[in-house]
Chains A and B, each alone.
Chain A
Amino acid sequence: MAAKKSTLKVILLGDGGVGKSSLMNRYVTNKFDAHLFHTIGVEFLNKELTVDGYKVTLQIWDTAGQERFRSLRTPFYRGSDCCLLTFSVDDSQSFLNLSNWKKEFIYYADIKEPEKFPFVVLGNKVDVAERQVSSEEAREWCQENGDYPYYETSAKDATNVAVAFEEAVHRVLAMDDKTDYLISTDTVRLHRKPRSATTCCS
């Protein structure tokens, strides 16, 4: 059983332009592309990592933030194991919208016990000098909303990116006894075919 691979689905949500795609690319390819296009539709990347001796495939989903495309992204919320709520520290509006993103996620992912669901909050673009959202404000919001872990990241200079994604994995695994979890995920996972992990990542 312990040799079995498991796929964890993590979804990045937040306003357009906060850096969701950049964070995903930084984590998966360790690159920052300043010429990246804005996202149209839905994309995902896989990243394999080993946690406590278990091989885990992290499937990171990235969608477009604009309201118009909501009905096209929300179906993909289903089956997420963790949600990374993302804002940009130089854009206060994106911070104010966090609650909406959280609500949208809980609704469409059909989360039964929202209090228990692992959210992680990312304040991106900390390399930018002109901040509109302070660490204190952000931490306070996380505290009040369910004691979510908060990371200040920069996709540009890689600050805290890997740490944040790894925290997401830990959160998911901490939800249950790990072994139990890894076995049970095979029945819950969207991608349960053992071969999927290998074909996706090649």
Chain B
Amino acid sequence: MATDSALKVIFEHEGVFIHPNTEEEGTEPDLLVSGSLRILEKDAEVLVDFRPLEDPVDPSNMLCAGQDSSSVVEWAQCPKEKHQSHQLLETQQSYETEWDMLNAVSFRKRSSARGEGLLNHSLERSRWAFSVSVSDLRSITVKDEGWTFVILQQKEPSTSLPALHFHQGGSREFLDNLRRFALLTESPEDETCLEVSTPNRALSQSFENLLDDNSFGLIHKFRRDPYVATFGGLSKVTNYIYDALRGAEEQQQQRPPEEVADLLGEVIPGLEINQQEEPGFEVITRIDLGMRPQVTRREPLSADRWSKHLDMEGRVQDVDQLKHEVFKGGLCHAVRKELWKFLLGYFPWSSTSEERRCLQRVKIDEYFRMKLQWKSVSEEQERRNSRLRDFRSLIEKDVDRTDRTNWFYEGLNNPGLTLLHDILMTYCMYDFDLGYVQGMSDLLSPILYVMENEVDAFWCFVSFMDQMHQNFEEQMQGMKTQLIQLSTLLRLLDLTFWNYLESQESGYLYFCFRWLLIRFKRELSFQDVLRLWEVMWTGLPCQNFHLLICCSILDSEKQKIMEENFGFNEILKHINELSMKLNIEEILQKAEGLFHQIRSCKDLPHSISSILGLDTGHQRSDPTNAGAVAASQRAHLQNICSNGLGRENGSQNSGRPAFKS
């Protein structure tokens, strides 16, 4: 792979010293080896690299190691710091020889202290060079002797590397940068010792902490000793509270203090922390998007058009074209009841009408078998089943508070309410581990409204929940992933705005929570929700299109947010209050425009193309992994139909469609 050789400098600091005499016998006393310490990323591995100064290894070669001619190393003079030269280093390398974006890190190149005792012999010096993978580190000890020194402890062999003495500062930046790739937690035994945990775990853990609880105890410790305190647990919210505690005046125009860990930067690999406050160290990231093309939307697909897509046996012809039409204009209401079943994956695209009838018969059986399970639980039994009782009580409360102004659910004894209730209860039987979580009634309501049929609505809901499941799970992994992805997108699409949000402690986009949890259900009018969802279910024009919809809405609001200088609370309030004021066609237009802009961007960062599935071969992929599923669904369907009504077959398969391959 062309990326194999890409080497990225995450951090570099000169004026880091090793004192060999304290490490080894037989060397001259008071010997200092001055060198530069780097954090490098290569082949998805992160290395801590120390090179003594004037080492034969030319640092600039490091940057393009293995890469032919595409590295750009520039030297620039920073006007603010006249006496020091500044180096601009390219740190972000892309696929092939192209640059993803200009992602330049400029930092102070200090004149190192060349006192007596400095080693001159290059061989002697290079002996002190080392390079160690972050994942091989067990712990980092941070001590102070008037200056800070740091001891890296390896796992295997369990030895210490020579202590690194930060005579010219920079230890904090070094640790902060490491935190982006590993979780550093204060050891319970020794507060100077930070335990290093592996990147993957660190990633998920720290994001846990973003939304988690225990982080709050840390704030006090943090205030006492921001240096050693564990940053991993501090959430953005804590930052903001921390600012609040620091007092008003100094805070007013200022960016929050840099000592507070930038958790978002930590949890999103590849996202640079914008360290504006650090003199001589800044990160500039931009992506060059062309003009946003004017996108036109079309008329909704009519019943007539739809019928033209069906052949004699009721097979859908030209599925790609059909999906495209749905993407561009949505559906007339009359078509929804039938076409949504395909869009959601309840009906295979390749099925005939006859096969679909068979399928439905099996699904009716399956549904009622599960419905009977909760229906037949006596009060007596339920008293001993607290989970079922809790689900029922939640469902009852939420059904009373879901779309009650819609005619389908309005009034006291509307049958729509009973259906909503029964389907949600049956879903608990279908997936008892998940059960009922608030928000699910919002996802079901439009589907039931369109289907006007309990069984069909149930199975369509099941399909929708397959896509949305992770949002509702215990750890809400789906929500975390989406917030990270959205932040990544927004940062590259609109750094200015992202920086603004960041400066208001809102960079982790908490205010998009409701949007993402229930796919804009509460933000749009009921009819607009139907339109948006059918467009999304086409899986076009790319995966995670709903994140571009978020970007599109934010793009329309950013001016107001920044001009009026909204803070954390006001941003939350402003976004909450957009509900029911949004125009779906405008949003879709802009989101599609954004997509075209991104796709025609030739230096598209890998992080973006992977979120949107624009890597080779991923285009137009169905979110439900259509290919494989379709094939096995077909096999299953034929099986059902050749077994008569397939009743026995269905019940033997314990309720789950037998998609064995």
Contacts and interface: CB of A to CB of B under 8 A. Distances in A.
Interface of A: 16-17, 34-38, 40-44, 59, 64, 66, 68-72, 74-76, 78-79, 108, 110, 186-193, 195-196, 199-200
A199 B567 CA distance: 10
Nearest to A21: B401
Contact of B514 (A41, A66, A108, A190): A41
22 contacts: A35-B410, A37-B442, A38-B398, A40-B439, A40-B514, A41-B513, A41-B576, A44-B569, A44-B572, A44-B573, A68-B476, A71-B211, A71-B212, A71-B213, A74-B216, A75-B216, A75-B237, A189-B244, A190-B241, A190-B244, A196-B570, A199-B570
Contacts of A187: 247-248
Contacts of B437: 66, 68
A78 B241 contact: yes
B18 to A, nearest CB: 42
Nearest to B211: A71
Q: Which 6 A-B pairs have the closest CB atoms?
A: A75-B237, A192-B248, A35-B404, A17-B397, A38-B401, A187-B247
Instruction: Tell which of B240, B405, B439 has the most Cβ of chain A within 10 Å.
Output: B439
A16 B248 contact: no
Contacts of A41: 513-514, 517, 576
Given A17-B397, A42-B572, A196 B567 contact: yes
B506 to A, nearest CB: 13
Given A40-B518, A75-B211, A193-B567, 8 more contacts: A35-B410, A40-B442, A74-B213, A78-B237, A108-B216, A186-B248, A187-B248, A190-B240
A193 B219 contact: no
B374 to A, nearest CB: 20
B25 interface: no
Nearest to A35: B404
Interface of B: 211-213, 216-217, 219, 235, 237-238, 240-241, 244-245, 247-248, 251-252, 394, 397-398, 401-402, 404-405, 410, 437-439, 442, 472, 474, 476, 510, 513-514, 517-518, 522, 564-570, 572-573, 576
Contacts of B248: 186-187, 189, 192-193
A190 B243 CA distance: 9
Nearest to A40: B514
A78 B505 CA distance: 15
By secondary structure, the B interface counts as: helix
A43 B251 CA distance: 25
B564 A199 contact: yes
B195 to A, nearest CB: 24
Contacts of B251: 192
Contact of B402 (A37, A69, A78): A37
Contacts of B514: 40-41
Given A36-B401, A37-B402, A40-B439, A68 B472 contact: yes
Instruction: Tell which of B248, B402, B476, B568 has the most Cβ of chain A within 10 Å.
Output: B248
A108 B238 CA distance: 11
A5 to B, nearest CB: 13
B404 A34 contact: yes
B216 A68 contact: no
B566 A78 contact: no
Contacts of B518: 40
A195 B514 CA distance: 27
A59 B217 CA distance: 25
Contacts of A195: 565
B499 to A, nearest CB: 19
Nearest to A61: B569
Instruction: Tell which of B238, B438, B576 has the most Cβ of chain A within 10 Å.
Output: B438
Contacts of B573: 44, 200
Nearest to B577: A43
A80 to B, nearest CB: 11
Contacts of B402: 37-38
A43 B576 contact: yes
Instruction: Tell which of A72, A108, A188 has the most Cβ of chain B within 10 Å.
Output: A72
A38 B521 CA distance: 13
A72 B572 CA distance: 14
Nearest to A67: B390
A199 B564 CA distance: 8
A119 B602 CA distance: 58
Contacts of B244: 79, 188-190, 192
Nearest to A42: B572
Contacts of A78: 216, 237-238, 241
Contacts of A38: 397-398, 401-402, 438
A62 to B, nearest CB: 11
A40 B517 CA distance: 9
A43 B576 CA distance: 7
Contacts of A186: 248
A43 B513 CA distance: 12
A44 B394 CA distance: 23
Nearest to B441: A38
Contacts of B410: 35
A182 B522 CA distance: 38
Nearest to A195: B565
A191 B394 CA distance: 34
A40 B212 contact: no
Contacts of B245: 188
Contacts of B566: 199
